[in-house]
Every structure is written in C-alpha cells, then in structure tokens.
C-alpha cells in the first residue's frame, strides 16, 4: 500500500511583519487525516500566526516563506486569492476565541452560519435556512430555530462559541483550526465545548488546536508541538510531551500548569490574628456582609436579582475565595462590599461600621482600607501615564506630597512587587502582562490597605506568569497581614490562595467553608459540577480509561 | 411595530423642540429688534407719525401685555398662521411655500451626492496603500476647509465659463442644479469620507471580519456585507447633521448662483428687517431639524438591530 501524504505539510515556515521582527522562525510540522495536532505556547510564541498561514490570513504587511506549505497535496505557496477563498471555509474551517466578538454583532447568528453555505454551496435560501438549523442543533445549541434569528449579543458566550463552530464546520472541512477555542469561557462551558470538538473528530478530517492551556490541549490532541519565540522547541505524541517532556521550557510550562491544577492546598495563613475596635466593641472581622440583596433593572425594564441574601465575613489577614461562573453575582457582591453600590437589603460592615452609617466624605477615607486589583490592568491605567505617575497618583491619595519621599516610597512599592526603580519611567503599554499586573498590585498597596480585592487578577496571563503573580500575592499577604477577597472562575487558582471558599450561583452562596472541606468533600451539587469541570492534564487515552 | 414607539417618543420630543424654537424667536422679536411697529411701517427712514405708530400697535396687538402677546402668538402658530411679511404684505406662509421645494431639493441632492460619493471613496481607500490614503485624505482636508464661495467660483470658472458644460446661473432645469449641488456636496463629501474611512478601518480590525474572511468571503464581500453596515450608523447620524448644515450652506450658494430659494428670501428679509419672514424660516428650519433627526433615529434602528432590541 502506497503511503498517503499528510493532509497538512509545513516545512521551515517563516513569517515576518513589515518593519517588525520575525514572528515565526523555521517551523515544521505535519497533520494527518484523522489526527489532532496541538500548537501550544505562551503569548507571543507565534502559534496563532502559524495556524493562520494555513488559511492565508496572516494579515496586512506579513511576509511568508517556506520550503514547503501543502494542504491535501496542493501547494499553497503563492496561491492566488481566489484559490485561498475556495479553501477558506470550504476545505479548512477556522474558529477563533469569542472574547471580542467573532460574530458580526449586527447580523443574526443564522446569517453568520449561512454565510459559509452561501459561499461554498449551491443551496437555495430555504435549504440554507434549514441546514443552518441542523448545524446549530448538531453543535448543541438548544432551540436552534429561535437562536438562528437572534443577534450574537442575545446569546451566552458558550452558545456564541458553538455557533461560531457551526459556521466553521458548515461545509464539512477536511481541516478544522481552532485558535484558543475555549479561552473566554467558564469552566463548565469550556468542558462542554471541548466535548463538542472531540465529537467533531472523524477518521477523515484533521484538527489543529492552538492554545496556551495544556489542560485544553491534552484532552484533544494526539500530538503536541510546543512553541516559543517563533520556534517549535519540542514535538511529540501527547503522552510523551505530557509525561516525559525533554525540553526544559516544556518542563517548566507543565510544572506551572500542574501547580495550578494540583490538588495540594496552600498552607494556612500564619499571621497572628488582629482585632479592631468596632461600634459594638472588639471585632476580629475586617468585613462582615449580612443578608445582602441587590437587583438591577434589565434592558426590558424587568428587575433582575444580581445578589440575593448573601452573607459572609472576612477576618483580618484571611483570604476568602469567591468562586462562580460569569453572571453568578461575584462582581455585584464585591461592589457592595466596596460601598460602590447600595444594597436593597442587608448591611456591609467594615471594621464593625456599616457603610450606610458613614457620610460620603468618611466613606472615601474608609475606602482606602480596601484596594482592588482587576483582571485587565491596562484598562485601569491611563496609557499616557508613566509608572511613576500611576503610583504617584495613588500615593497622593495616601497623603504623600510630590517630592523625594514620595519617589522613595514608589520605589519601595515597586521592590515589594519584585520590580525595580528603572520601571518608574516606563508606560503601561511597554510592559508585559505580568509586569503590568505587578504595577497594579503596587498601586493597590500604596495607601496601605487592610483588604485587597483581587477580581480575576491572573485570568489574562500566561500560566507560568499566573503562578508567579499568585506566589507574589501570597507572599505580600503574609508579610503585610492583608486580608483578601479573591474572585475567580478558575478553581485551581482559587484553591491555591484561599483559606476559605464561598461558591456562588445565581446570586446566592450555595456552599462555603474551609478550602480543604469544600474541595475535599463538596456538599452542594453545583460545587461538584464545578470541580468535575476542571480540565485535567490527561491524554485522551487516559481520560477514556478513567 | 418596534418603530412605532420610537417614532412616537421622538415626535413628542420634537414638539418640545418646536415650542422652544417658537419661544426663543418670540423673545428675540420682542427684546432685540427695536419697535416692530416702526419696522412694519417701513423702518425709521419712513418717518411715521406717532398717531400712525399707535394705530399699527393696536392693529397688530402690540399694545397688549407681553404674556398675552405670547399666548396669542403660540395660538396663531398652532393654527399655521406665521403672520404677514412687513415688506411683501402677504402671509409668511405664502412667501415661503413656493421656495421650500427648490431649497430642499438643492440640499437633498447635495446630501445624497455627498453620502454616495463618500461611501464609494471610503470603501475604495480604507486600509489601502499608504500613498493612496495620504493623497486622498490630504485632498479631503483641503476641500473640507475650502470656503464654499471660493469652491463655487472655482467650479463656475472651469465648468461654466471655460467648458460651457453648465449654465452660470438660474433655476431652470437639472443642468442649473449641477454646479450648486457640487459646491455644497464636495466639502460635505470630504468630511463624511474622513469619518467613514476611520470607522471602516476600525471595523476591519475586528475579529468577526477575520472570521468572515476565514469562511471564504472576498475582500469586496467583507467590506460590503460586514464592514459597511457598522460604519453606516455614524454616517447616518452625521448625514442628518450634514443636511442641516447644507440647508445653511444653501443661503450662500443660492445667492452665488442667483437661484430661487429660501436662502435668498432669508438674505433679503434680513437686510430689510422683515422679521416675520426671518421667524418663519427659522421655525421651518427647526421643523426640518426635528424631522431629520427622526429619520436618522429610525434609519439607525434599522441598520443596528441592537438599538431596537435593547431600547
């Protein structure tokens, strides 16, 4: 039997951007029919660009060279735009992450899926409509007839991602490229979409998955190629890469991923208990929230309950992990705690005093005791400010006047977050994601808070950087005796930092308790579901056995 | 059905705007323009006697308290009576009515030309070679800032005096429309194109555009089916504003090309202190603004279904 050539053959691929650095430097790989190859790497590794060369969409001003770039035996080097158009959507399906809206917000979901059919088939309009509904049903969209007529903004993130996949597989492509297909999704939804992608595999088609997340990749891939700085540092079977990585970079990435997904608990906080004098005498709670409820008016003027009867407390120096999927009320609960929203019912006490008892002037003083670190620090910095000005502004509030003393304190703050004086003159845009988050932490520490609220502080970061930031936060909390409310949808991350956990669903706390208890013996059905949805570092074979 | 509610509320707000405009013009009439009775009698140069002035005051109700005059004025407006021109001695409505169509058609043709030209130019030049973009946007900048009389005289010199393609002046036939329309449309096109191209370039960077390309859609398809619709919302809003601006521009253009129209009537009325005509045209302008904004809102709701769904 003659050997069938691989579906995709790439040899010594080079991609550079005009006036820019080379982003892909001599990458070679192949994908066989019936196979799934994963390109894994951190941001800037060139993995997305590499995958896009297979649909000819490397973008404006990119230059491409390769010894070989073949798809289905056809040479793609120097293919005409017309050839590319017949390949895109027809023979190669492409799916991106939903984060910023991969579906046209002005067109119905059905129109978007139908677009592929319109371009590559001779189906009539009525046939296309029927096929769109079949496709949406096949990717697990409930009520496909209704959904097809809705706008992307009326669908949840998970449904949008499914619709996007439907538009990519509409013409049964031989190759499906999925670029971070689950990155913007909650854990449970992520698990569902991964299952869907698994089910889409057949012996005839191939899949190329691009991801930063070993847990996503391990579930799908037969083979894994690890990319770094535009090169493949190591490739092999999923089993070999996951269990016997040869390259130190792969080993490091896996160690970081494993430590986030590990079941090991952090050691409990050892800081001595502190007390404050509250209105009703001594209190060991820096924050007490009792029976909080809050509803908002929706776009259709109906009231929607965001948070209902939520109670929790936070002792000095303790970390409370707030877990839940998007829309579970975590953010509203936090805004109530910060005194940014007034609850419809219930009370929040800071050091024994309720927000409601304070005048706005006094609230402003009290607010300094609680500082926030957000997911996307870039959005919370003025892009024209230097780091010195960012910190200076925060120190201004803390009572430091401009001068040598303020500058010294700024340097001190930078050193706390393991940066140095040289960062003072840099601007947020020039910093990496991890450095930016460190500056955001330094800014939060400027007024010497007692409570740090961390709202998804590592969700936008690469895994190895996540570990570094979490370690830094742990160390700072210990050293400064900070209490912390840690909000995340990622249970691995929450488990790593929290003393106690509260699980939120539909605006309520469904379960709370010490971390070991909640993770070891979850009582509520929902907690068990969440735990089951954590992606595991297991190959396909291992997952099937388990 | 969803538009009915939108139109109802916008119309209600529009009535508020008209009432405001009527009040301001009333105040302007009574506080700034001297004694209306003298203006009615042909201005101070006519040297009217005090007896005649008193008689006119009585006839026009000017001896009543201001509040009473205001209510009477609003009541007259509500019944469509805008008063009588001081100079022409005919009702303002009759003076204005025959001129509405020429001016509106001039402004409308200019707005339509500007919208179509800007869509074409922006679609052709967005995200294209750098030299082409800087050439086109440089030209646009010059044309946006060119005063309309300079542009109008330039067009007259070339197309009327030298090439004899179009008449120099007048209101007869479509050929007489071309140069006035272009005089108004060219700066408007330049401005609309700059905004539209920026919008298109922003949209063309969005992920859903990449996804559309990944489905095999051609560059033209991407621009026409996805990008243009997004850019249209700001174009529509801006064109509404532009139409109002063009009506204002018509004043100068009509005089330059000696065309019949509201612009010329307005200029004459202003020079002769014919206050009722000025007020009538002002109120008409306010009415047109209200209607344009209504059309803009409805068009935007059609182009962007999210507006209708979420509001």
Extract the tokens encoding B258.
């000696």
pLDDT at residue A545, rounded to an integer:
67
A439 and A480 within one domain: no
Superfamily classification of domain B93-310: MetI-like (1.10.3720.10)
Among the listed residues A475, A473, A429, the one whose alpha carbon sits nearest the alpha carbon of residue A453: A473
A475 and A402 within one domain: no
- Is it the case that residue B310 has pLDDT exceeding 60? no
pLDDT at residue B129, rounded to an integer:
83
Say if the Cβ atoms of A101 and B208 lie within 8 Å. yes
CA distance A462 to chain B (A): 21
pLDDT at residue A311, rounded to an integer:
92
Lowest mean pLDDT among A194-198, A288-292, B263-267: B263-267
Q: Report the residue from A106, A119, A154 with minimal CB separation from B215.
A: A119
The torsion angles phi and psi of A483, rounded to 5 degrees, stand at: -90, 155
Q: Where are the beta strands (DSSP E) in A239-392?
A: 276-278, 281-283, 285-297, 303-315, 319-323, 345-350, 353-354, 370-373
A267 compared with B301, residue with greater pLDDT: B301
Q: Is residue A289 part of a domain?
A: yes
- For A98, the closest chain B residue by CA position comes to B207
Mean pLDDT over residues B47-71, rounded? 81
Q: Is residue A24 part of a domain?
A: yes
Residues A248-298: pLDDT tens digits?
999 988 888 877 766 555 555 555 556 555 555 567 788 999 999 998 875
Q: Report the residue from B216, B229, B306 with minimal CB separation from A119.
A: B216
- For A85, the closest chain B residue by CA position comes to B216
Say if the Cβ atoms of A101 and B305 lie within 8 Å. no
Residues A436-471: pLDDT tens digits?
999 999 999 999 999 999 988 888 788 888 888 998
Do A316 and A450 form a contact (C-beta atoms < 8 A)?
Answer: yes
Tally of domains within chain A: 3
- For A103, the closest chain B residue by CA position comes to B208
d(CA B288, CA A398): 55
Residues B163-184: pLDDT tens digits?
888 887 777 778 888 888 898 8
Most confident residue range from A17-31, A120-134, B295-309: A120-134
Q: Is residue A147 part of a domain?
A: yes
pLDDT at residue A34, rounded to an integer:
92
Residues of B with CB under 8 A from a CB of A: 127, 206-208, 210-219, 225-226, 229-230, 303-306, 309-311
B306 neighbourhood in chain A, CB within 8 Å: 105-106, 151, 153
- For B130, the closest chain A residue by CA position comes to A61
Here the CATH number for the domain that contains residue A326 is: 3.40.50.300
Residues A485-504: pLDDT tens digits?
999 888 888 888 899 999 99
Q: Is residue A546 part of a domain?
A: no
Q: Is residue A321 part of a domain?
A: yes
A299 neighbourhood in chain B, CB within 8 Å: 309-311
- A466 alpha-carbon distance from chain centroid: 11
A473 and A433 within one domain: no
Mean pLDDT over residues A213-241, rounded? 91
Say if the Cβ atoms of B211 and A299 lie within 8 Å. no
* Phi-psi label, residue A101: left if phi above 0, alpha if psi -120 to 50, beta otherwise: left
Among the listed residues A37, A12, A38, the one whose alpha carbon sits nearest the alpha carbon of residue A25: A12
Residues B74-96: pLDDT tens digits?
888 888 888 888 778 888 888 88
A345 and A231 within one domain: no
- Is it the case that residue A164 has pLDDT exceeding 90? yes
Extract the tokens encoding A173.
């492509």
pLDDT at residue B290, rounded to an integer:
87
Among the listed residues A496, A514, A415, the one whose alpha carbon sits nearest the alpha carbon of residue A457: A496
A427 and A341 within one domain: no
Do A359 and A540 form a contact (C-beta atoms < 8 A)?
Answer: no
pLDDT at residue B212, rounded to an integer:
93
- Is it the case that residue B155 has pLDDT exceeding 70? yes
pLDDT at residue A268, rounded to an integer:
53
3-state secondary structure (DSSP) of residue A519 = helix
Residues B100-134: pLDDT tens digits?
888 888 888 999 999 999 999 999 999 888 888 88
Mean pLDDT over residues A50-78, rounded? 89
A485 and A344 within one domain: yes
Q: Report the residue from A93, A106, A115 with minimal CB separation from B212.
A: A115
| Helices (H), ranges, A12-151 | 47-52, 81-87, 109-120, 125-138, 144-148
A305 and A249 within one domain: no
Q: Which domain holds residue A523?
A: 276-369+449-540
pLDDT at residue A1, rounded to an integer:
45
Residues A308-367: pLDDT tens digits?
999 998 988 899 999 888 778 888 888 888 888 888 999 888 888 888 778 888 888 888
Mean pLDDT over residues B207-233, rounded? 91
B218 neighbourhood in chain A, CB within 8 Å: 81, 85
Domain end marker among A448, A466, A482: A448
Please give the torsion angle defined by the CA atoms of residues B72, B76, B78 and B79, in that order, rounded to the nearest 10 degrees: 140
B213 neighbourhood in chain A, CB within 8 Å: 57, 88
d(CA A333, CA B50): 78
Q: Kindly give, in sequence order, each residue whose CB lies less than 8 Å from that of residue B191, ignoring residues fewer than 6 positions away.
A: B140, B144, B238, B242
Query: How far from A268 is each of A49, A265, A318, A416, A442, CA to CA, in Å?
Result: 43, 8, 9, 22, 24
- For A97, the closest chain B residue by CA position comes to B207
Among the listed residues B106, B266, B257, B238, the one whose alpha carbon sits nearest the alpha carbon of residue B185: B106
B230 compared with A4, residue with greater pLDDT: B230
Confidence of residue B254 (pLDDT cuts 50, 70, 90): confident
pLDDT at residue B244, rounded to an integer:
77
B127 neighbourhood in chain A, CB within 8 Å: 60
Confidence of residue A546 (pLDDT cuts 50, 70, 90): low
- For B302, the closest chain A residue by CA position comes to A106
pLDDT at residue B308, rounded to an integer:
59
Mean pLDDT over residues A98-110, rounded? 83
Mean pLDDT over residues B25-41, rounded? 72
Query: DSSP assignment, residue A311?
Result: E
d(CA A52, CA B141): 38
Averaged pLDDT of chain B: 84
Q: Report the residue from B213, B230, B311 with minimal CB separation from A57.
A: B213
A93 neighbourhood in chain B, CB within 8 Å: 214
- Is it the case that residue A2 has pLDDT exceeding 70? no
Say if the Cβ atoms of A119 and B305 lie within 8 Å. no
A120 neighbourhood in chain B, CB within 8 Å: 216
pLDDT at residue B64, rounded to an integer:
81
- A262 alpha-carbon distance from chain centroid: 18
Q: How many beta-carbon pairs under 8 angstroms link A with B?
A: 81
- Is it the case that residue B37 has pLDDT exceeding 60? yes
Mean pLDDT over residues A412-421, rounded? 92
A167 and A25 within one domain: yes
Most confident residue range from A7-11, A431-435, A517-521: A7-11
Q: Is residue A222 part of a domain?
A: yes
A119 neighbourhood in chain B, CB within 8 Å: 215-217
Say if the Cβ atoms of A102 and B211 lie within 8 Å. yes
B214 neighbourhood in chain A, CB within 8 Å: 55, 57, 88-89, 93-94, 96, 168
DSSP assignment string, B238-259: HHHHHHHHHHHHHHHHHHHTT-
Q: Is residue A376 part of a domain?
A: no
Q: Is residue A363 part of a domain?
A: yes
Averaged pLDDT of chain A: 86
pLDDT at residue B33, rounded to an integer:
57
Among the listed residues B121, B127, B304, B124, the one whose alpha carbon sits nearest the alpha carbon of residue B205: B127
Say if the Cβ atoms of B304 and A164 lie within 8 Å. no
Confidence of residue A78 (pLDDT cuts 50, 70, 90): confident
CA distance B129 to chain A (A): 10
Residues A467-484: pLDDT tens digits?
889 989 988 988 888 999
Say if the Cβ atoms of B211 and A106 lie within 8 Å. no
Domain end marker among A412, A433, A448: A448
d(CA A37, CA A26): 18
Say if the Cβ atoms of B206 and A100 lie within 8 Å. yes
- Is it the case that residue A49 has pLDDT exceeding 60? yes
């Amino acid at each position: 039997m003659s050997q069938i050539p691989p579906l995709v053959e790439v040899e010594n691929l080079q991609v550079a951007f005009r006036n820019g650095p080379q982003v892909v430097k001599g990458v070679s790989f192949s994908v066989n029919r019936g196979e799934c190859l994963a390109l894994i790497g951190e941001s800037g590794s060139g993995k997305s660009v590499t995958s896009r060369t297979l649909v000819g969409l490397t973008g404006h001003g990119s230059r491409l060279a390769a010894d070989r770039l073949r798809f289905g035996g056809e040479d793609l080097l120097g293919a005409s735009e017309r050839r590319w158009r017949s390949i895109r959507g027809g023979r190669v399906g492409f799916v991106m992450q939903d984060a910023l809206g991969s579906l046209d917000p002005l067109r119905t979901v059905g129109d978007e899926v139908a677009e592929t059919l319109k371009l590559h088939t001779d189906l009539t309009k009525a046939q296309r409509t029927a096929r769109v509904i079949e496709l949406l049903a096949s990717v697990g969209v409930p009520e496909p007839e209704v959904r097809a007529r809705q706008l992307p903004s009326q669908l949840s993130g998970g449904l949008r991602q499914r619709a996007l996949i439907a538009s990519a597989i509409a013409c049964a492509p031989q190759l499906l490229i999925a670029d971070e297909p689950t990155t913007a999704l909650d854990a449970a939804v992520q698990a569902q979409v991964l299952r869907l992608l698994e089910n889409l595999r057949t012996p005839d088609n191939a899949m190329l998955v691009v991801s930063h997340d070993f847990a996503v990749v391990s579930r799908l891939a037969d083979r894994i190629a690890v990319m770094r700085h535009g090169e493949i540092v190591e490739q092999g079977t999923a089993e070999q890469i996951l269990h016997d990585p040869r390259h130190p970079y792969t080993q490091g990435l896996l160690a970081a991923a494993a430590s986030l997904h590990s079941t090991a608990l952090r050691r409990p906080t050892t800081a001595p208990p502190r007390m404050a004098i509250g209105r009703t005498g001594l209190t060991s709670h820096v924050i007490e929230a009792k029976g909080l409820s809050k509803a908002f008016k929706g776009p259709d003027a109906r009231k929607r309950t965001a948070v209902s009867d939520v109670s929790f407390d936070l002792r000095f120096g303790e970390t409370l992990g707030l877990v839940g999927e998007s829309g579970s009320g975590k953010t509203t609960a936090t805004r109530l705690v910060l005194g940014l929203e007034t609850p419809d019912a219930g009370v929040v006490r800071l050091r024994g005093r309720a927000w409601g008892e304070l005048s706005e002037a006094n609230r402003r003083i009290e607010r300094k005791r609680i500082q926030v670190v957000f997911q996307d620090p870039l959005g919370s910095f003025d892009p024209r400010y230097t780091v010195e000005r960012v910190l200076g502004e925060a120190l201004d509030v803390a009572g430091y006047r401009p001068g040598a003393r303020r500058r010294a304190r700024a340097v001190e703050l930078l050193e706390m977050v393991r940066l140095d004086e040289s960062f003072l003159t840099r601007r947020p845009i020039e910093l990496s994601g991890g450095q930016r988050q460190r500056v955001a932490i330094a800014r939060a520490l400027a007024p010497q808070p007692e409570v740090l609220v961390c709202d998804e502080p590592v969700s936008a970061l690469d895994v190895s950087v996540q570990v570094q930031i979490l370690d830094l936060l742990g160390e700072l909390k210990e050293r400064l005796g900070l209490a912390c409310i840690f909000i995340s949808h990622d249970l691995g991350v929450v488990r790593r930092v929290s003393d106690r956990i509260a699980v939120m669903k539909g605006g309520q706390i469904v379960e709370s308790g010490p971390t070991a208890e909640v993770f070891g013996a979850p009582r509520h059905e929902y907690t068990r579901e969440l735990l089951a949805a954590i992606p595991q570092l297991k190959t396909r074979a291992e997952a099937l056995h388990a | 059905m969803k538009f009915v509610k939108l139109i109802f509320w916008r119309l209600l707000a529009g009535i508020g705007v008209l009432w405001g405009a009527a009040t301001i013009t009333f105040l302007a009439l009574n506080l700034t323009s001297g004694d209306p009775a003298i203006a009615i009698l042909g201005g101070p140069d006519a040297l009217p006697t005090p007896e005649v002035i008193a008689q006119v005051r009585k006839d026009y109700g000017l001896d009543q308290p201001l509040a009473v005059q205001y209510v009477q004025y609003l009541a007259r407006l509500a019944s469509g009576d805008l008063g009588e021109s001081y100079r022409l001695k005919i009702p303002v409505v009759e003076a204005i009515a025959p001129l509405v169509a020429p001016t509106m058609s001039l402004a409308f043709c200019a707005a339509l030309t500007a919208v179509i030209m800007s869509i074409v130019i922006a679609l052709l030049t967005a995200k294209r070679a750098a030299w082409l973009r800087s050439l086109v946007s440089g030209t646009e900048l010059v044309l946006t800032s060119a005063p309309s009389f300079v542009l109008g005289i330039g067009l007259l010199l070339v197309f009327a005096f030298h090439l004899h393609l179009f008449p120099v002046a007048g209101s007869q036939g479509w050929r007489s429309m071309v140069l006035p329309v272009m005089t108004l449309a060219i700066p408007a096109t330049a401005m609309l194109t700059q905004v539209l191209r920026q919008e298109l370039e922003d949209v063309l960077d969005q992920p859903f555009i990449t996804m559309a390309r990944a489905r095999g859609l051609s560059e033209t398809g991407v621009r026409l089916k996805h990008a243009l619709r997004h850019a249209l919302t700001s174009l529509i809003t801006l064109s509404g504003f532009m139409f109002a601006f063009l009506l204002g521009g018509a004043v100068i253009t009509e005089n330059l090309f000696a065309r019949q129209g509201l612009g010329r009537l307005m200029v004459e009325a202003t020079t002769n202190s014919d206050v009722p005509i000025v007020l009538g045209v002002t109120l008409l302008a306010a009415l047109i603004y209200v209607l344009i904004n209504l059309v803009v809102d409805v068009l935007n709701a059609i182009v962007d279904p999210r507006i209708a769904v979420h509001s």
